Amino acid sequence: MTDPVAGPAPAPPAPTVPLSALLAREDLGLRLIAGPAEAEVHWVHASEMADPFPYLLGGELLMTAGMQLSDPERYVRRVVEAGAAALGFGVTPVYDTVPGELVAACARHGLPLLEVPPRTPFAAVGRAVWRLMAQARHRELRRVTEAQQSLATAAARPDPVPAVLHALASRLAGRAVLYAPDGAEYAAAGRPPEPRVAAALARLARVPHTGSRPASAADTVGGAHLAAYALGGGQGLTLGLATGRREAGDHTIAGVAVVLLSLLTAPHQGADEATRSTALVRLLLGAAPGEVAPLLGDAPWTVVHARGEGAPPHVPPPLGTPLVDVREGTVRALLPAGREVAPHPGWTLGVSAPVEPAQLGAADVQAARALGRARAAHLPLARHRAGGLGALLDPDEAAAYARGLLAPLTEPLPETLRAWLSLHGNWDRTATALGVHRNTVRQRIARCAALLDADLDDPEVRMELWFALRWL
């Protein structure tokens, strides 16, 4: 519920739907009868309250049939104060036409007013909005993915910094500038903006370095959207962007460019280090480990997974590497084997065993499992455990036996059984490690026992299954 004192809550980071897109849907039959056609809809909400303000978050297309519309002027004023994007009025059964006083009030307050015909249920309008949002999200994800691939390709070129800036400027349809610490342009790409916009961007580029750690800043000048991002690596460089429009996914695309440029401009990079940075960047952007393994040489690497406790955002723990990726709240990092990983306040860490470059995929799984074990046991750090009696058996024979024994199980049953066995049959800790409800764990383990026709209370059965899961 919205706090009437604090005002509307901020809209969620989801694609919005232009009001014009809803008006263009012939199946809905919506008609704009007051206010501007330019509005962005975040969601649809139906209410017949005389004062809907306490129940609005802002950005809604508010749907009503006017059952308690006693004072249209006050009603529209409260809807505008709540930050609603538009008002949809359904004619019949209460009113045969949209009341004239409501039309006049919406026109005075600049609130778009839509007439909803009797044949169109409010639910149909809501469904149309969600479908348009899903289409917008798909376009956004595809755009971000294509931009990541373009930037990664540019980073592998002989002159990577200008190539990355050019790819970024092209993808965002604007100007990309890399500023030196003294404010001079280190490199740039894209069409130069008008002088006052260029001057504003140069001033904005100094803002991210005023705090205690790298940051970003944004502004709008002369219709141009400006953004500045401080690069890591200790060089004092800043990426500045000037675009004519701001679209969903722009910040994500700019973040990829910041990571790439931070790596490419890091000091004292010899030929071997530059090659490795290129390979690691490709790994961060989703390339298969086998594809980049030849570029990494023979040196072993360690994968670390970390997750902060409490509400985001979190500052990643100091792992001593710029090769960091954040996905769904989990930090994934690559660092040379032998570099010490220590617990960090507020974070839970899982550390893989040192592996050769071609085995980074396996190490990523090891780190994820170690992180799950640490969170379940409430430990600040857990490391991958290997070796033991299982190492005395022939791996091929053991794997063949494990495949036969566990053949009846399909995902997610093997992973659930592995976690449950590793946590000594504790339902709550297994649920925490897997991120599911404890009843879901119980149902899956019961299913495993039935499919395997095994008594999971028998310690010998548990031991055999545990080794089989490891060999598998």
Neighbours of 176 (CB within 10 A): 26
- Percentage of residues in the chain with pLDDT exceeding 70? 82
Q: How confident is the model at residue 396 (pLDDT cuts 50, 70, 90)?
A: low
Question: What per-residue confidence (pLDDT) applies to 159?
Answer: 78
Least confident among 134-148, 308-322, 417-431? 308-322
For 199-206, which contacts have Cβ atoms below 8 Å and span 24 or more sequence positions? 200/226, 201/175, 201/177, 201/226, 201/228, 201/240, 201/241, 201/242, 202/240, 204/228, 204/240, 205/177, 205/179, 205/238, 205/240, 206/238
CB 331 within 8 A of CB 368: no
Over the stretch 155-205, which tens digit does the pLDDT of each residue have? 777 778 889 999 999 999 999 999 988 888 888 999 999 999 999 999 988
Q: How far, CA to CA in Å, does 246 sit from each of 58, 141, 144, 207, 306? A: 20, 15, 14, 20, 32
Question: What per-residue confidence (pLDDT) applies to 240?
Answer: 92
Report the C-alpha dihedral over residues 135, 136, 142, 148, rounded to 10 degrees: -160
**In this model, does residue 360 exceed pLDDT 90?**
no
For 442, the token pair is 């119980």
For 349, the token pair is 């860490």
CATH 3.40.50.1820 is held by the domain 17-130: no
Question: What per-residue confidence (pLDDT) applies to 41?
Answer: 93
pTM over 0.85: no
Highest mean pLDDT pick, 2-16, 51-65, 231-245, 434-448:
51-65
**Residue ranges per domain, the chain?**
17-130, 156-264, 298-311+320-383, 389-471
In this structure, CATH architecture of domain 156-264: 2-Layer Sandwich (3.30)
Average pLDDT, the chain: 82
Question: What per-residue confidence (pLDDT) applies to 165?
Answer: 93
Question: What per-residue confidence (pLDDT) applies to 66?
Answer: 94
Over the stretch 33-80, which tens digit does the pLDDT of each residue have? 999 999 999 989 999 999 999 889 889 999 999 999 999 999 999 999
In this structure, CATH architecture of domain 389-471: Orthogonal Bundle (1.10)
Question: What per-residue confidence (pLDDT) applies to 350?
Answer: 92
Question: What per-residue confidence (pLDDT) applies to 280?
Answer: 57
Rounded to an integer, what distance in angstroms lies between the CA atom of residue 455 and that of residue 9? Answer: 53
